[in-house]
Amino acid sequence: MAASGDHAGVFAASTPRAVRNVVFVEGVRTPFGKAGPKGIYAETRADDLVVKVIRELLRRHPELPPERVDEVAVAATTQTGDQGLTIGRVAGLLAGLPKSVPGYAIDRMCAGAMTAVTTTAAGIAFGAYDVVIAGGVEHMGHHPMGEGVDPNPRIVADKLVDPSALVMGQTAENVHDRYPAITRQRCDEYAARSQERYADAVKAGRIGPELVPVATRSAELGWGLATEDEPPRPGTTVETLGALKTPFRPHGRVTAGNAAGLNDGATGCILADEDTARELGLPAAMRLVGYSFVGVEPEVMGVGPVPATEKALARAGLTIEDIGLFEINEAFAVQVLAFLDHFGIDAQDPRVNQWGGAIACGHPLASSGVRLMTQLARQFAEKPEVRYGITTMCIGIGMGGTVIWENPDWNGSGK
């Protein structure tokens, strides 16, 4: 049937859109703090942490005119109080971006910042944006996980999920049940190694350049300056970890030592169309290859990275053997080991979390995805022989997310 009326010719005039390449320009983050009244950010607002991140990205890239930013996407798991009011828009205004730059909030629990990146990157690939700022924040001291939520009683009453699915530590114990070969001893060994690798990376100056100093205040102690992560426990040993209690189950396997803590912090990055980045003189630290999010049984949410990675690799036409660097979020040691065991990767493989992970530096929920990306980008710069890397994480309520990245400086000598 021929088109008629005001819309005549609209479809005939349209042309297919070419997908554009998306590049990760740079990522930064605040130092991560311990949640609670004694943490470094106890009297610092969550939105002010995001403001610091946005301002630092603009400071580092004066070649980017602020009015060229097309969107600000900021994730938060608990969107209330100082993490509410459409935080992407509010933080952009507070950071001094032009009022013409829009912004929004996004939530996918632990993968909030990861989803802020993939969602805006899809917009860039489609042609809706040229340059965006994406990131996340979580002030778990102000907003404990689950604050103010009212789960529908049918979730449990209709047996849609096991009741343990709503307690992340219990889901980690469930993963142990499913994979009995992953013992507490193995998890403690992995956790101690994460602490050691993180400490070595700090000493070598590999962790630090991406941190944004944050002014902090305390009614008791006055003003301070946060310049380094607060959660790490240098000198952690398997023996000290073995003495810790198992809070989620009597005689369990998950402890405060082989899991990430409760933390505060913010992350952010600049993404751009590759041609636009070249036009503006913005560096390209990574090129987006593909991504995937999947759902799994909520009571074993820690297994999510496995099918997410399989799906992302399949869609990209790659295999696990093509991946030269892995940044896996360490919500719990058991979920990292489940991933490694599935793909036949040794727990001590130097390609995996070579600068340590969340067990050491912390996991402020919605912010962590961009921390993984920032570390991967910096590792790419050191390793031109590596072509592909992934960032992957498990997600509460039974999901997993994986993003595949390509090293634009790959020299053709390796995978």
pLDDT tens by residue, the chain, 415 residues: 444 445 555 555 567 778 999 999 999 999 999 999 999 999 999 999 999 999 999 999 999 999 999 999 999 999 999 999 999 999 999 999 999 999 999 999 999 999 999 999 999 999 999 999 999 999 999 999 888 889 899 988 898 889 999 899 999 999 999 999 999 999 999 999 999 999 999 999 999 999 999 999 998 889 999 999 999 999 999 999 999 999 999 999 999 999 999 999 999 999 999 999 999 999 999 999 999 999 999 999 999 999 999 999 999 999 999 999 999 999 999 999 999 999 999 999 999 999 999 999 999 999 999 999 999 999 999 999 999 999 999 999 999 999 999 999 999 876 6
Segment (H or E) for 118: helix 112-126
pLDDT of residue 3: 46
pLDDT of residue 290: 98
pLDDT of residue 65: 98
Please name which of 331, 321, 314 lies closest in space to residue 392, comparing C-alpha atoms. Answer: 331
C-alpha span between 246 and 254 (Å, rounded): 6
Q: Going by DSSP bridges, is the β-strand pair 399-406/388-395 parallel, antiparallel, or unpaired?
A: antiparallel
pLDDT of residue 7: 54
pLDDT of residue 13: 58
Tokens, residue 386: 């590596």
The one-letter code for the residue type at 28 is: V
Active site residues: 110, 363, 394
Please name which of 272, 336, 283 lies closest in space to residue 309, comparing C-alpha atoms. Answer: 336
pLDDT of residue 11: 53
C-alpha span between 230 and 35 (Å, rounded): 10
Phi, psi of 223 (to 5 degrees): -85, 150
C-alpha span between 329 and 358 (Å, rounded): 6
- By CB atoms closer than 10 A (0-12, 13-18, 19+), residue 200 is middle
